[in-house]
Amino acid sequence: MSEIRSMEHSTLKVPYEILNKKFRIAQKTLDRELNQVQNAALEVEKGCANGSSVGEIRRLLGGVVERLQVFKRKADESFADELNATNVCKRRLEHLKQNVQCEPNTSSNANNNNNIETGSSSTSGEVNQAAIDQWKRMRLDRMIIEHFLRLGYYESAERLAIRTGIKDLTNLDIFQTSREVEQDLANHKTTKCTMWCNDNKSKLRKIDSNIEFQLRVQEFVELIRENKRLDAVKHARKYFPAFGNDQLKEICQVMALLAFQVDTQLEPYKRLLDPKRWDDLVLNFRNENYRLFQLSSQSLLSVAVQAGLSALKTPKCYSTVSKNANCPVCQDDFNEIAKNLPFSHCAQSRLICRVTGLPLNEHNLPMMLPNGQIYGQLAIPQITKENGVVVCPVTKQPFCQPKIEKVFIM
């Protein structure tokens, strides 16, 4: 259960936020349409009170009917949207519950051992383990899809989601929207990002986001770049007052651009006019999108891989003479990923033979060659050549029928 809580927070949080957003949109829409119906009804009442003609009353009643039809259509659409969002929440909750239900209950199994036959218990355990493996495979697919989405491989992520039948368990819609906005920003346009800000205005205000201010600043800068300074002033008068309380210093710097040429070398105005600010806007939007839906800055797959590598990492993984072929961290690609990760914490060390990969214990005693290198007893036949010559795998030094001593570890 602790694993689910630590790793699956966004799995439920994202659809909940979407449902909450759809509910608020539906509430505003229905309130607006209801107000229109009430206004149309008031017109009918006024017409009756003023003694309007039958034709006029009929026209006003037709307006009420039309408004009611629009209200019903909007209500049906809103209900359908909320129902779809609710079903996604339910689907994901059921998916997470499957893992909890499949986990073996040790105490329960111990109590029931006396009442269950061995064959029946074994079969039940195998079925339970198969269900757990299937769930973990599904979770791995979800992790891969999310990682693909974060890297920009949208088509591959969508194909994998459709092939595995877990589209409802992924955040494809969020990343597709993010993709469209990022492409628009990459093309030096702010239209879609501005629409995104308007759609999420209340939520962005709660998380104290400044993405909308950055967009307005960039629009101002582009007007300066095009030498449309009068339009830039109009733009500033229209949008900057809303940010005056929190961004006054930045606004003053931006307004000073009116006095400089676009090729100025004076900071911070050179930085404000740098086209690379569009790249910063893309990254800023991406981070704000993650914050909006409480997504971590790294993908779940990346976090899981780093946690696993850290649990296996030892100083020997970076030694040129003692790498283990069976250790993931000793592989070149993973070795680079684990470079800045902490070493594993081992309360009790386990010694592993570098030749066989087997533990050194009473069944595989540690044996020392004359040069001080230690290997498992089961590895000695493997490193022994013809005529009893033993070749050390590390130093490549040959020993003719050497004296191999047992090593005792305290």
User: Each residue of 112-159: pLDDT tens digit?
Assistant: 445 445 555 566 667 778 888 888 898 899 999 999 999 889 999 999
Which of 103, 124, 144 is the last residue before a domain boundary? 103
Residue 317 burial (C-beta neighbours within 10 Å; 0-12, 13-18, 19+) = buried
Closest to 57 (Cα-Cα) out of 72, 45, 68: 45
Are 277 and 336 contained in the same domain? no
Tell me how many degrees the CA angle 215-218-220 measures, rounded to the nearest 5: 110
Q: Is there a single domain that holds both residue 313 and residue 280?
A: no
**Rounded Cα–Cα distance for residues 14 and 89 (Å):** 9
Report the alpha-carbon distance of residue 264 to residue 317 in Å, rounded.
52
More confident residue, 127 or 306: 306
Residues 256 and 280 in one domain: yes
Answer yes or no: is 125 within a domain.
Answer: no
Task: Tell me, yes or no, whether 281 and 175 share the same domain.
Answer: yes
Residues 195 and 276 grouped into a single domain: yes
Give the residue-averaged pLDDT of 91-105.
75
Q: Which of 190, 198, 164, 192 minimizes the C-alpha distance to 176? A: 192
Tell me what percent of the residues of the chain surpass a pLDDT of 90.
Answer: 20
Gap between the Cα atoms of 249 and 173, Å rounded = 37
Q: What is the pLDDT of residue 359?
A: 87
User: Looking at residues 31-57, what average pLDDT do you find?
Assistant: 85
Residues 359 and 250 in one domain: no
Q: Residue 226 contacts by C-beta under 8 Å, 6 or more apart in sequence?
A: none
Per-residue confidence (pLDDT) for residue 272, from 0 to 100: 87
In a domain, 402, yes or no: yes
Average pLDDT over residues 58-70: 87
Q: Is there a single domain that holds both residue 287 and residue 305?
A: no
Among residues 54, 81, 103, the one where a domain terminates is 103
In this structure, of 50-54, 90-94, 110-114, the range with the lowest mean pLDDT score is: 110-114
In a domain, residue 131? The reply is: no
Is 241 found in the same domain as 305? no
Q: In whole angstroms, what is the distance from residue 228 CA to residue 235 CA?
A: 10
End-to-end, the C-alpha distance of the chain in Å comes to: 38
391 to 316, 326, 400: CA distances (angstroms):
22, 21, 9
pTM over the 0.75 mark: no
3-state secondary structure (DSSP) of residue 384: strand
Residue 237: partners with Cβ closer than 8 Å, 6 or more residues away: none
**For residue 133, how far is the Cα from the chain centroid?**
23
Q: Above 70 in pLDDT, residue 64?
A: yes
- Quick one: pLDDT at residue 110? 45
179-225 pLDDT, tens digit each: 999 999 999 999 999 999 998 888 898 888 999 999 999 999 999 98
In a shared domain, residues 98 and 9: yes
Which residue, among 346, 350, 349, 319, has the nearest Cα to 335 in the 3D structure? 319
Q: Is residue 227 part of a domain?
A: yes
Range of the domain at 327: 300-340
How many angstroms from the chain centroid is the CA of residue 403?
Answer: 58
Q: How far apart are CA 210 and CA 102, in angstroms?
A: 45
Q: What is the largest CA-CA distance in the chain?
A: 123
Residue 6 and residue 36 share a domain: yes
Q: Is the peptide bond before 315 cis (omega within 30 degrees of 0)?
A: no
Q: How many domains does the chain have?
A: 4
**Please, are residues 171 and 183 in contact by the beta-carbon 8 Å criterion?**
no
* Residue 269 reports pLDDT greater than 90: no
Q: Look at 109-118, 331-340, 396-405 and tell me which has the smallest mean pLDDT.
A: 109-118
Domain check: are 246 and 278 in the same one?
yes
Mean pLDDT of the chain, nearest integer: 84
Supply the DSSP string of 60-76, one letter for each residue: HHHHHHHHHHHHHHHHH
**Residue 108 pLDDT:** 46
**Structural Rg of the chain based on CA atoms:** 34
The verdict on residue 309 lying in a domain is yes
Cβ neighbours, 10 Å, residue 315: 8
Checking if the pLDDT of 27 tops 50, the result is: yes
Tokens standing for 377?
A: 């007893």
Residue that terminates a domain, selected from 43, 72, 103 = 103
Cα–Cα dist 299/369, whole Å = 47
Q: Does some domain include residue 42? A: yes
pLDDT in tens, 270-303: 888 888 999 999 999 999 999 988 888 888 888 8
178 part of a folded domain: yes
The answer to whether residue 121 sits within a structural domain is no
Kindly state whether residues 366 and 391 are assigned to the same domain: yes
Cis previous bond, 268, omega within 30: yes
The DSSP symbol for 9 reads H
